[in-house]
Amino acid sequence: MERMIGILGGSGVYEIEGLEGAEWVRVDSPFGSPSDAVLTGHLDGVKMAFLPRHGRGHVHTPSSVPYRANIDALKRLGVTDLVSVSACGSFREEMAPGDFVLVDQFIDRTFAREKSFFGPGCVAHVSLAHPTCPHLGAACADAARSAGVTLHEGGTYLAMEGPQFSTLAESKMYRDAWGADVIGMTNMPEAKLAREAELCYASLAMITDYDSWHKDHGAVEITEIIKVLTGNAAKAREVVGRLPALLGPTRDDCPAGCNRALEHAIMTAPEKRDPDLVARLEAVAGRVL
């Protein structure tokens, strides 16, 4: 099977040197308009697709990002492996601004977003015990190490609704009582939808600040975040640029079963399925429907 690496991230991440045949492509989705057009091309002989999560110029809030349309559009283009690159705050002293964390668990505290492609008329339950792909994550870790990035392998990401940052009380609770390692606003429901779409998904979280719990750093300052974010974007480009050579142009079945997540997930009897919803699910779940 031909591999296509998808990257969901900010504007600084998709300016990759050596991207051949670069072209912005508009993709229609039955789940609405994606955040932006998708930049496609080849890097080291591997197909690539870059989608600015917030749209070019940062027009979407974390709550208004069209998560379902984004994942559906990338699946329609042929993406098989999806890497999220996003900013986050840190709850751990050793996870410092400028470091990257390879996230492997999530706590979802979002509440104003559509979180599933499925619904009444076609019900499905996928496993999310291990929400990221270990095989794709290992490639991301290798790429980060070879790029000289300080990487923490494994971490729990607290997904908050935003767009405001945490109160001090919330920050302390997430850190001390809940055991979260980093906090961000965009990886949920992204990871859930990627699993429903049978995509391998990995999350590289770029630390910009210590949230508000750290007594020596005080409240989150957006000017400081932007300064660190700019430096992190350059590191992220290096990491992303190394992935095609590590993963190669073809792929087999995912050892973790990500590309078979819907195998036994759909519960609605065939004769009871809503034909309109089934039609919308063509790209996401056509393999099993």
- Give residue limits of the domains in the chain: 4-285
Distance (Å, whole) CA 176 – CA 165: 17
| Superfamily name and number for 4-285 | Nucleoside phosphorylase domain (3.40.50.1580)
Judge contact between 42 and 21, C-beta under 8 A: yes
Q: What is the pLDDT of residue 205?
A: 96
222-266: pLDDT as tens digits: 666 676 667 788 899 999 999 999 999 999 999 999 999 999 999
| Mean of pLDDT values over 8-15 | 81
Residue 215 has pLDDT above 80, yes or no: no
pLDDT at 16: 86
pLDDT given for residue 217 in this prediction: 59
Q: In the chain, pLDDT over 90 holds for what percent of residues? A: 88
Percent of the chain with pLDDT over 70: 95
Average pLDDT, the chain: 94
With contact defined as beta carbons under 8 Å apart, do 284 and 194 qualify?
no
Please say if the pLDDT value at position 218 is more than 60.
no
- Burial profile 194-230: b = 16 or more Cβ within 10 angstroms, e = fewer: bbbbbbbbbbbbbbbbbbbbbeeeeebeeeebeebbe
- Residue 219's pLDDT is what? 57
- Give CB contacts under 8 A, 24+ apart, made by 236-239: 236/9, 236/12, 236/13, 236/85, 236/100, 236/204, 236/206, 237/12, 237/13, 237/15, 237/16, 237/17, 238/147, 238/148, 238/149, 239/85, 239/100, 239/140, 239/143, 239/144, 239/147, 239/149, 239/204
For residues 210-222, average pLDDT: 68
Are 120 and 274 in contact by the 8 Å Cβ rule? The answer is: yes
Residue 63 has φ and ψ, to the nearest 5°, of: -80, -30
Residue 220 scores a pLDDT above 60: no
Nearest one of 286, 283, 108, 90 to 190, comparing CA atoms: 108
Among residues 36, 176, 209, 276, which one is catalytic? 209
Rounded to whole angstroms, how far apart are CA atoms 268 and 54?
34
Neighbour-count burial for 268-281, b at 16+ CB within 10 Å, e otherwise: beeeebeeebbebb
Active-site position among 108, 211, 216, 276: 211
What's the rounded Cα separation, in Å, for the pair 99 and 235? 10
The percent of the chain in helix, strand and coil, each rounded to the nearest 5, is 30, 25, 45
- DSSP calls for 170-236: HHHIIIIIS---EEESSSTTHHHHHHHTT-EEEEEEEEEE-TTT-TTT-S--HHHHHHHHHHHHHHH
Measured between alpha carbons, how far is 201 from 82 in angstroms, rounded to an integer?
5
Mean pLDDT of 124-153: 98
pLDDT at 13: 85
Q: Say whether 276 is catalytic.
A: no
The question of whether 209 is a catalytic residue gets the answer yes
pLDDT value at residue 181: 98
**What mean pLDDT do residues 117-136 have?**
98
First vs last C-alpha separation in the chain: 20
Pick from 286, 282, 278: which is nearest to 120 by CA?
278
